[in-house]
């Protein structure tokens, strides 16, 4: 069992782990590392996950791993290729908010529940419903807001690096804007102070001139 799997089992347990992220960001690869099963879920350019998938992992003493698709109504089988085809069938078609369940048994598995959601996208592809980005986002909203679940946010490393650099630039620009604003305020304050001093000097000069005129009379 990997360190990340031990950590998730300790932190989340039956409360569950939610995997969210951008499309093609490596969510499936992370999921495979957690469940220790490769080629169980499809991976290709585009949306391989069309529905929320709830994976229930159960640690057993059985040397042969088993799996089932479809909750208690599914058939338990050791055939991982069959499970992969059944999962692909569940993800076939349009995006659907209704989740399906996959149960896995094995002596190398943690006692853990993981829910994988379709990857977020910024815009719909040609021929897709224009509302697809919002449909995908709404699927995972309630799970993300659930305080009892442990969230794993997966992002493409390149995109993440770019966003990090943009954040640094914006933070620097914001800091510079604050410095410039502070300088303007100080300049304005000094100008007001200078104007008050000038006004006071003019008033003093005017009083002095009035006194001198009074004395000359």
Q: Can you give the residue range of the structural domain that contains 187?
A: 157-217
Question: What mean pLDDT comes out for the span 22-49?
Answer: 80
**Is the pLDDT at 214 greater than 80, yes or no?**
no
Are 204 and 110 in a shared domain? no
The CA distance from 19 to 7, in Å, is 15
Are 12 and 71 in a shared domain? yes
pLDDT (0 to 100) of residue 104: 94
Are 161 and 128 in a shared domain? no
Are 191 and 150 in a shared domain? no
Per the confidence metrics, is the pTM higher than 0.75? no
Are 143 and 106 in a shared domain? yes
Q: How confident is the model at residue 216 (pLDDT cuts 50, 70, 90)?
A: low
Are 166 and 118 in a shared domain? no
Q: Which domain-ending residue is among 155, 175, 197? A: 155
% pLDDT > 70, the chain: 84
**Is the pLDDT at 29 greater than 90, yes or no?**
no
Are 107 and 50 in a shared domain? yes
């Amino acid at each position: 069992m990997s360190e990340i799997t031990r950590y998730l089992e300790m932190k989340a347990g039956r409360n569950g782990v939610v995997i969210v992220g951008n499309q093609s960001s490596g969510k499936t690869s992370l999921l495979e590392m957690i469940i220790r099963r490769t080629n169980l879920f499809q991976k290709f350019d585009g949306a391989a996950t069309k529905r929320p998938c709830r994976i229930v992992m159960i640690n057993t003493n059985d040397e042969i791993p088993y799996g089932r698709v479809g909750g208690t109504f599914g058939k338990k089988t050791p055939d991982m290729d069959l499970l992969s085809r059944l999962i692909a069938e569940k993800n076939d078609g349009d995006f659907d908010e209704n989740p399906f369940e996959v149960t896995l048994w094995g002596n190398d598995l943690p006692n853990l529940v993981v829910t994988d959601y379709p990857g977020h996208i910024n815009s719909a592809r040609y021929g897709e419903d224009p509302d697809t980005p919002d449909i995908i986002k709404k699927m995972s909203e309630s799970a993300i807001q659930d305080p009892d679940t442990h969230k794993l946010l997966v992002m493409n490393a390149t995109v993440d690096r770019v966003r990090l650099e943009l954040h640094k630039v914006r933070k620097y620009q914001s800091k510079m804007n604050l410095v410039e604003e502070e300088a303007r305020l100080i300049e304005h304050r000094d100008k007001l102070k200078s104007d008050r001093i000038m006004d006071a000097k003019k008033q003093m000069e005017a009083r002095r001139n009035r006194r001198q005129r009074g004395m000359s009379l």
